[in-house]
Structure formats: structure tokens, C-alpha cells
């Protein structure tokens, strides 16, 4: 690594490094902008391939276009509809029937029994990119529907209305998250470096990493069917800026330390890169491999996030270890103005903040780690308040959405599932079998028996629909889907499958719960093995994994209480625990690696006890700054109007701060001091003789 570091920071080759990245940007930059168009946000992109509702989507494409999105238009006059109202609605229905995007026939007008509302169902085929076009299509429908008598209220709901609201919520997500993340990074770097100039280089490097990552991910999505959606693309922005800036902080801190010892900045950077790169590479590899564990997920969207995040982190590491050092040595010492380090400057001594913290922990390390662990364990109890069983459509948004208002009006005047039917696909070879399937479908509790459609037969299969009597995203509706499945599966020879929007949501919830149980243990095992290889020990990785689990539990516990009693959220998405776990463990391990690799380095020189204190003092400032950056970037997810994003952002931000300020700096240091050299068992360092006391009196370098 030392030879490579010398090449990157060479007096002349540094310019070649910069030119190389400029060339990469010129080639890949145009592709980065295409990532939004490559996103796949339809239901099938989220579902596991083996889910029953996925099979229904595949088969139903032979009856109804997979691109069809029904819009339910509800007209309401609380005092009762007038003849003029009904005449206007009929005219609107006729106008909707002439739409170029119409797929099939307009259904309705259908008046309600109370005479106060009427609905029209307009099946729209917006093409394969229909999710992104739904907002414009709904606006066009609304412009027509609102051209009616005064006092006639109009609402647009159903799948098209929901898609329009979701599309609007995600509109501009990349720009919103990017600008917010950049602002957070700039503010924290200004505070950290106290330089009006230095922050530019990490931000420029992070911007290059994000652009290259987006281009590579676009190529993977376009050529290898990688599933990319708005969720994974948004998280990519936050992850690259957060993790990339963390690595920049570690490198710059080590570079500044070496500039005080060496007059030649190229030599100083070569040494800094040689000493910091193992920790940065190990951290990046741990995050990337941890993210790739998501490939074991059955949910397509979750599995797709793994490679997206891994590519982002991998590129961030590469950029921060090549482009950033080249930029720093090209600029020279003045980039640190007004606090440029000079040759011979005194190193910060043992009297720094983290050195003082270490001194206090040293007095009573056992009491410190027991007390800290007890507090974290109490915080874990908040998990009982976590309701990660999924969110209804209404609960998924912060603030009221037009489609949700329409759903409420629809439910007040019509059966709860109007416009969002349960779909049954059955074998049509035997007429009596098909009749039996339709009969048991109609008899299921929770299905309106008068709503069962006449079977549409094609290629030996029959397509039927039925209307739920409860709201399509309610627990009662999910129970009804289970009852329908149990009933039609019992019909011999029917080979029936049950799908529809409600079935899709139910299958998503169950697949997410299964992924939680599968992937969390896999991530723990993978991280443990990586730590074993990196630290060349067994005890230290076990201790660190224990602190990770405790930190995760405390973060989830506190977050659950805040969600319920402060923010007033009804619950959390089923994927919430998994995403928070993967991010906190993979990213939290960064700080373990930053701390423990430095402790190991100093323990060889100074002995374990003294090395633990020096390691804390040397990395405490870096870890604090890195934690603030990462927490700040994830917190910007809260700027989106989606509860799931806000919850992930808060939980990860809080968990990272907990890791940074308490777990890594206090709990791990106290355990290091109390367990002693046994932390490094079975490596030779666990038997390493401590140096003589006189040799221990050395200044504590603060990176």
C-alpha cells in the first residue's frame, strides 16, 4: 500500500489522478442523470418472485395490461345529488371514454344507495413508466371532473390516485436529498475544520463519488436487471455523502498530523494514506459486504438496495483514497487556512477533551461499562412500543393526501374496497370447478357477494374480481384475503390464485418480516468474521458485536417511543427494523474499526492499557465529526413527506450519535481497559509484554 500511496501523492502523478477522474466524469456523468428514468417503482419491483400476488400479476397480464392503473373518481354532495349533478357526471364519463390512455371501458356512473355520491372507474394504461406519469394523468382527470355544478365535490382515489400522491411525494427526491445532504456536510465540515476553504475538497470528492455511483448503477439496472426504485436511489445519495465524508475526515485528520512531522507535503500525505487507508478500506468493505447481505432478501426492492448501496460505498472509498489525496497535495498547506499545520508544531497533548474522557474512564472502567450498558439496556425496553407491522396508505404520509381524502369519501358511501378489487385467477377447463370457485369466493366473509364479476376466460384461465367490504389497506381486508385464499385453494382442480392491491400489500408485509428474521443474523456473522480478520482476534470482535447489538436495541427502543409519543406515528413499515439494523451495524462498525485499528497500532508500541487511551484520544475527534456528518445526512430523510423515510432517518441518525458519543468512545474504551490484553486473544498481542513505565510517557497525538 505504501508504494501505491507514493504514486497517488507523487509530485507529478497526482495530476494524472485528477485528470483520470475528470475523464471518468466526462464519460459517466451523462449516464448518472438517466438513473431516475431507470427506476422501477411498480408493485412487482417490490414483491418477492414467489409471492402469490406476484404470480397473479404475471397471469393477469393476459387479461388486463400490467400497466393499467384504475382511477376512481368520486362525486359527492352531502345534501343529495341533483339531476344536474347526475347529468354532468354522465357527460364526464362519456368524455373519459375518449381518452387515449383508456384501457378498456369506463365503469359507471355508479350512484350510492344514500343518493349523496356517485363514482366512475377509469382504467388508465400509462405505459411501463405509469407510476411516474400518474400525477399528470390525475391532474387531467381532475380538470375535467371539476367542471360541474357548484357545490359538487370531486375526489380522485383508487390505485391511480395513490400512485399520483406517491409520485408527488418522491418528485424531486434526488435533488431535495442532495441539497440537504450537501448543506449538512458543509456546515459540519466548517465547524470541524474551522476553515472557509478546506470543506470544498471533501464535498467535491463526494459529489464525484455520487455521480460515478449513479452512472454505474444505471448501467447495472439497464443491462443486468438490477431493481432500483426511488427508495434505494434516495438512500444512495445519503449514504455516499455520509460515508464518503467520514472517510475524508479520517484521511484529512491523519494528513494534518503528518504535516506537523514532515516538511514535504507529498511525503506527509503518502504516510497519512499508508496509515489511514487500511482502516478506510476495511470500513468500506465491511459496509459494502454488509449491504450485499440484503441480496438474501426475498423482497425485490430490499435485495436491489444491497448492490446499490455497495456500489456507492465502494466508489466513495476509491474516490476518497485517490482523488481527495491528489487534490489536497495539489493545493498545499494553505488549504487549511487559517489554521495551517506547520513543521514542528506541537502535537496536541494528553490534555485534549477525549484524553480527559479517557482519564476519567481509566479510574473506574468496570463501573463505567456496567453503568453504560445498564442505561442502554433500559433504553432497549422501548422496543415494546414498536409496531412494525406495516402502515396503511393514510399512515404512510405526513399530512393529508388527496387520494386519502377520496378514499374516506368513497368508504362513507360505497363498500370499503370499491375500486381496489380482490382478484382470483382460476382454471377454466372445467365449468363446474369454475362455478365452485366463484361460489366460494362470493361466500367469503368480507367480500360483497353481489360484486363478483362474470368470469373472463382466456387460454384456459378465468379472471374474476370481488369487492372488499372494508378499506383495502386495513387489517380486516388482509384477513379477508387470507380467507379468500383458504377458500378457493380448497376447490379441487381450480388451482386458484388470489391477488390484487390488498394481496400485494399483505405479501409485502410478510416477506419483509421473513427477511428481518433471515438477514439480521447473516449480517452479524459476516461482520464478526470481518472483524476477526481485521483485528486478528476473537474476543475483541465478540465484544464489539455485543456493543453493536446493544446500541441497535437502544436506538430502536428510543425511536419507537419518540415515534409513538412525540411524532404520533401509527406504526412503522415492516422493513424498518432490517434497514435500521443494516445501516447501524454496517456504518457503526466504521467507528469500531477507526478506534480499534488505532488502539491495536498503539498497543504494539505502548502496551494495551496505554494504547487504549492513546487510541481514544487520537480518534475521538474524528469519530465525533464523522458521526455528526453521518447522522446529519441521514436526518435529511426527514425532509420527505413519507413516514417510512422519516422513521429510518431519525432512527439511524440517533443510533449513529449514540454509537459515536457513547458506545464507541465510552463503552468500548471501558471494556478495553477492563478486559485488558485478553481483548486480542488468541493473537500474539494478547501475550505482548507491556513496555517499561518510562517508555509510556509519550504525547497523545490527536488526529
- Give 409-422 pLDDT, tens digit per residue: 888 888 766 667 89
Label residues 121-157 b or e (16+ Cβ within 10 Å = b): bbbbbbeeebbbbbbebbeebbeebeebeeebebbbb
Rounded Cα gap, residues 11 and 16, in angstroms: 10
Is-contact 510 389, C-beta < 8 A? Answer: no
Residue 178, pLDDT score:
76
Give the model confidence (pLDDT) of 2-40 as tens digits. 555 556 776 778 898 999 999 999 999 899 888 876 666
176 in the same domain as 289: yes
184 in the same domain as 320: yes
The string of DSSP codes covering 403-428 is HHHHHHHHHHHS-TTTTS-EEEEEE-
CATH number (domain holding residue 125): 3.30.70.100
The string of DSSP codes covering 126-194 is --TTHHHHHHHHHHHHHHHHTSS-TT-EEEEEHHHHHHHHHHHHHTTHHHHHHHHHHHHHHHHHHHHH-
In a domain, 463, yes or no: yes
478 in the same domain as 550: no
Q: What is the domain count for the chain?
A: 4
Closest CA to 669 of 382, 304, 369, 332: 369
480 in the same domain as 335: no
Rounded Cα gap, residues 598 and 279, in angstroms: 9
User: How do strand 456-458 and strand 117-125 relate by DSSP bridges?
Assistant: unpaired
Rounded Cα gap, residues 407 and 161, in angstroms: 9
In a domain, 371, yes or no: yes
581 in the same domain as 563: yes
479 in the same domain as 495: yes
Is-contact 413 155, C-beta < 8 A? Answer: no
In a domain, 586, yes or no: yes
In a domain, 143, yes or no: yes
Per the structure, the complete domain to which residue 232 belongs is given by: 1-49+172-344
Rounded Cα gap, residues 405 and 402, in angstroms: 5
Domain-terminating residue out of 328, 344, 360: 344
CATH number (domain holding residue 661): 1.20.1640.10
194 in the same domain as 260: yes
Rounded Cα gap, residues 144 and 564, in angstroms: 41
Task: Examine residue 247 and say whether the peptide bond preceding it is cis (omega within 30 degrees of 0).
Answer: no
In a domain, 13, yes or no: yes
489 in the same domain as 368: no
Closest CA to 621 of 655, 664, 589: 664
517 in the same domain as 387: yes
Domain-terminating residue out of 170, 202, 227: 170
Rounded Cα gap, residues 656 and 585, in angstroms: 10
664 in the same domain as 643: yes
CATH number (domain holding residue 444): 3.30.70.260
> What's 453's DSSP letter?
P
In a domain, 56, yes or no: no
User: Which parts of the chain register pLDDT below 70?
Assistant: 1-7, 10, 37-46, 49, 65-66, 128-132, 171-174, 344-351, 416-419, 688-703
Domain-terminating residue out of 170, 198, 225: 170
In a domain, 414, yes or no: no
In a domain, 252, yes or no: yes
Rounded Cα gap, residues 325 and 539, in angstroms: 35
518 in the same domain as 632: yes
The string of DSSP codes covering 20-83 is HHHHHHHHHHHHHTTTGGG---SHHHHS-TT-HHHHHHHHHTTTS-TTEEEEEEEEE-TT---H
186 in the same domain as 324: yes
How many other CB atoms sit within 10 Å of the CB of residue 540? 28
Amino acid at each position: 500500500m505504501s508504494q501505491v500511496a507514493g504514486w497517488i501523492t507523487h509530485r507529478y502523478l497526482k495530476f494524472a489522478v485528477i485528470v483520470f477522474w475528470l475523464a471518468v466524469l466526462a464519460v459517466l456523468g451523462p449516464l448518472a442523470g438517466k438513473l431516475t428514468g431507470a427506476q422501477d417503482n411498480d408493485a412487482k419491483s417490490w414483491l418477492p418472485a414467489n409471492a402469490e400476488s406476484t404470480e397473479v400479476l404475471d397471469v393477469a397480464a393476459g387479461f388486463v395490461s400490467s400497466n393499467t392503473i384504475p382511477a376512481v373518481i368520486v362525486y359527492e354532495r352531502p345534501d343529495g345529488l341533483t339531476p344536474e349533478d347526475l347529468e354532468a357526471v354522465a357527460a364526464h364519463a362519456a368524455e373519459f371514454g375518449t381518452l387515449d390512455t383508456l384501457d378498456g371501458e369506463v365503469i359507471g356512473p355508479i350512484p350510492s344507495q344514500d343518493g349523496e355520491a356517485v363514482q366512475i372507474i377509469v382504467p388508465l394504461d400509462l405505459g411501463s413508466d405509469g407510476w411516474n406519469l400518474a400525477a399528470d394523468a390525475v391532474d387531467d382527470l381532475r380538470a375535467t371532473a371539476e367542471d360541474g355544478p357548484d357545490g359538487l365535490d370531486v375526489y380522485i382515489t383508487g390505485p391511480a390516485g395513490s400512485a399520483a400522491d406517491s409520485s408527488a411525494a418522491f418528485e424531486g427526491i434526488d435533488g431535495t436529498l442532495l441539497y440537504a445532504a450537501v448543506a449538512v456536510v458543509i456546515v459540519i465540515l466548517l465547524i470541524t475544520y474551522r476553515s472557509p476553504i478546506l470543506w470544498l475538497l471533501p464535498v467535491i470528492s463526494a459529489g464525484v463519488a455520487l455521480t460515478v455511483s449513479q452512472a454505474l448503477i444505471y448501467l447495472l439496472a439497464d443491462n443486468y436487471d438490477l431493481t432500483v426504485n426511488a427508495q434505494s436511489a434516495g438512500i444512495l445519495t445519503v449514504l455516499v455523502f455520509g460515508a464518503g465524508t467520514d472517510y475524508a475526515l479520517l484521511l484529512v485528520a491523519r494528513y494534518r498530523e503528518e504535516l506537523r512531522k514532515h516538511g514535504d507535503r507529498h511525503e506527509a500525505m503518502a504516510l497519512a494514506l499508508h496509515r489511514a487507508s487500511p482502516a478506510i478500506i476495511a470500513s468500506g468493505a465491511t459496509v459494502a459486504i454488509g449491504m450485499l447481505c440484503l441480496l438474501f432478501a426475498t423482497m425485490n426492492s430490499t435485495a436491489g438496495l444491497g448492490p446499490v448501496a455497495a456500489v456507492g460505498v465502494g466508489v466513495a472509498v476509491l474516490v476518497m483514497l485517490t482523488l481527495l489525496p491528489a487534490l489536497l497535495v495539489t493545493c498545499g498547506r494553505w488549504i487549511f487556512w487559517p489554521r495551517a499545520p506547520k513543521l514542528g508544531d506541537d502535537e496536541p497533548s494528553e490534555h485534549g477533551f477525549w484524553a480527559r474522557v479517557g482519564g476519567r474512564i481509566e479510574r473506574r472502567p468496570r463501573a463505567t461499562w456496567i453503568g453504560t450498558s445498564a442505561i442502554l439496556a433500559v433504553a432497549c425496553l422501548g422496543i415494546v412500543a414498536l409496531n412494525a407491522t406495516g402502515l396503511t396508505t393514510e399512515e404512510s404520509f405526513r399530512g393529508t393526501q388527496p387520494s386519502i381524502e377520496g378514499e374516506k369519501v368513497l368508504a362513507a358511501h360505497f363498500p370499503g374496497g370499491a375500486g381496489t378489487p380482490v382478484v382470483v385467477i382460476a382454471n377454466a377447463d372445467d365449468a363446474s370447478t369454475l362455478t365452485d370457485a366463484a361460489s366460494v369466493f362470493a361466500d367469503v366473509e368480507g367480500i360483497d357477494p353481489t360484486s363478483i364479476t362474470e368470469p373472463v376466460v382466456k387460454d384456459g384461465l378465468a379472471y374474476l374480481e370481488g369487492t372488499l367490504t372494508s378499506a383495502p389497506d386495513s387489517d380486516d381486508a388482509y384477513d379477508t384475503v387470507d380467507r379468500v385464499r383458504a377458500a378457493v385453494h380448497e376447490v379441487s382442480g381450480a388451482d386458484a390464485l388470489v391477488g390484487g392491491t390488498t394481496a400485494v400489500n399483505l405479501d409485502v408485509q410478510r416477506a419483509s418480516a421473513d427477511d428481518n428474521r433471515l438477514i439480521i443474523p447473516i449480517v452479524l456473522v459476516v461482520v464478526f468474521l470481518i472483524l476477526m480478520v481485521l483485528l486478528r482476534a476473537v474476543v475483541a470482535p465478540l465484544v464489539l458485536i455485543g456493543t453493536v447489538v446493544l446500541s441497535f436495541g437502544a436506538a430502536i427502543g428510543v425511536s419507537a417511543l419518540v415515534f409513538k409519543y412525540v411524532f404520533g406515528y401509527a406504526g412503522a413499515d415492516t422493513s424498518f427494523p432490517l434497514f435500521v439494523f443494516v445501516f447501524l451495524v454496517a456504518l457503526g462498525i466504521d467507528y469500531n474499526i477507526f478506534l480499534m485499528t488505532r488502539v491495536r497500532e498503539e498497543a504494539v508500541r505502548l502496551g494495551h492499557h496505554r494504547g487504549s487511551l492513546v487510541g481514544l484520544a487520537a480518534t475521538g475527534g474524528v469519530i465525533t465529526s464523522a458521526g455528526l456528518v453521518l447522522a446529519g445526512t441521514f436526518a435529511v430523510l426527514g425532509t420527505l413527506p413519507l413516514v417510512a423515510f422519516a422513521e429510518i432517518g431519525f432512527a439511524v441518525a440517533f443510533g449513529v450519535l449514540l454509537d459515536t458519543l457513547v458506545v464507541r468512545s465510552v463503552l468500548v474504551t471501558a471494556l478495553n481497559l477492563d478486559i485488558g490484553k485478553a481483548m486480542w486473544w488468541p493473537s500474539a498481542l494478547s501475550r505482548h509484554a507491556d513496555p517499561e513505565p518510562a517508555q509510556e510517557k509519550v504525547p497523545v497525538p490527536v488526529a
